[in-house]
Structure 1
């Protein structure tokens, strides 16, 4: 009887101790839940911020695309305006001269027309200011009354011969070579006339002209 009472008291003590432990652990369980809830809340907030940053980044990218499109359109407009800009020149020789070396550039120093600024009367070289098809015409009168019997006048694109304007002594006086070429030029390409022989007198009736189609 006494032993049974002791056992009952022992179980009562165990139950009380166990219940007290649960009471002690309840705040910890609640704290863990609160921690998880706060972490979840932080994750949600971070996700919302990421979405906001992503939206701002997409908006910035779209603005950048719009700026690039505007720049491209502006460049195209400038190029279109440049491509429609007229280019033309016409130049003659102010006084006759004699070539002093082979393959000498013929300088037509008297400019009567110059639209686009492509021709330089100081050098006799035309430089294409815009891309396009160009027409060049030249008439070169050579004095062959001396011992010279012929002359080879060439139209050159970027220092490469395109055609010859060949003049030959037929009556011992002045002979004229005339020619027209159509050339496709890029910006910076050059066109000029040269005389292959030295000691050829180029008469002042000579001229050169060119224009962009």
Structure 2
């Protein structure tokens, strides 16, 4: 269309430029007309070549557009296939979830119950570990009433011995567990006699007592707090030769103690 417009414009310009020449011969006129027609033919061929080149470019562009269109269609089809596959998988998954929902809930409940039971058991274990263990003893009636210096008093009658810490063989208490203990010794002294007793831990004096019964037999008591590790021992020992008395009910020369905190 552009080439045709150029051709018409060229013809119009040629006709418009035709000179008015009454004096020119017929031969000159025809020669000039022929020359103009040849120029017009060349111009026309040039326009045709340009049109062909443009047409070829348009065809190439159309071919590229067609190929791109086909590629886009292929991409759209692939996306549609992927969407359909995803929808089918989703439907299948939802069906599977629905089928397994009951069993899953049952498993969750079962697992939760097991976890709760394990937690309770662990709590009970910890509670047992932190609870103060019962350890206490009370022994009376010394093996002998006349004591020499440095002699360990062996109390032969055991009233109670929770934890089996006290030994009637050695007269010593051995701590079964680590903790804070309270010990006491109750000492009865005969008339006109002295008693010199000590409570010792691993040979170190915790507390000592000295008593003289002048008018009548008399009893006295001493207490001591001490921190013990498991396996450490505590006992009552005579620091200087002494005499002990035990007669009336409950007027006992005795040794006892208890774990009060661990």
TM-score when normalising by structure 2: 0.46
Question: Any gaps of 5 or more consecutive residues in structure 1?
Answer: 42-59
Match of 1:94 among 135, 143, 158: 143
SS at match of 2:169: coil
Which residue of 1 is the match for residue 63 of structure 2?
Answer: 17
TM-score when normalising by structure 1: 0.54
In the superposition, relative to structure 1, how do residues 79 and 21 fare at CA in structure 2: closer, same or farther (>3 Å)? closer
Match of 2:237 among 194, 197, 200: 194
Match of 2:122 among 58, 64, 71: 71
User: In terms of Rg, which structure is larger?
Assistant: 2
Q: Is 1:154–1:163's contact at 8 Å kept on the other side of the alignment?
A: yes
1:74, 1:155 → 2: CA distance?
A: 36
Q: How many residues align?
A: 183
Match of 1:137 among 185, 199, 214: 185
Which residue of 2 is the match for residue 180 of structure 1?
Answer: 222
In the TM superposition, what is the alpha-carbon distance from 1:185 to its structure 2 partner?
5.5
SS at match of 2:126: helix
Give the structure with the larger strand fraction: 1
Which residue of 1 is the match for residue 161 of structure 2?
Answer: 115
Give the structure with the larger helix fraction: 2
Match of 1:125 among 158, 172, 183: 172
If asked which structure has higher relative contact order (CA below 8 Å, sep 6+), I would say 1
In the superposition, relative to structure 1, how do residues 28 and 180 fare at CA in structure 2: closer, same or farther (>3 Å)? same
Q: Is 1:93–1:204's contact at 8 Å kept on the other side of the alignment?
A: no
Match of 2:207 among 163, 166, 171: 163
RMSD: 5.2
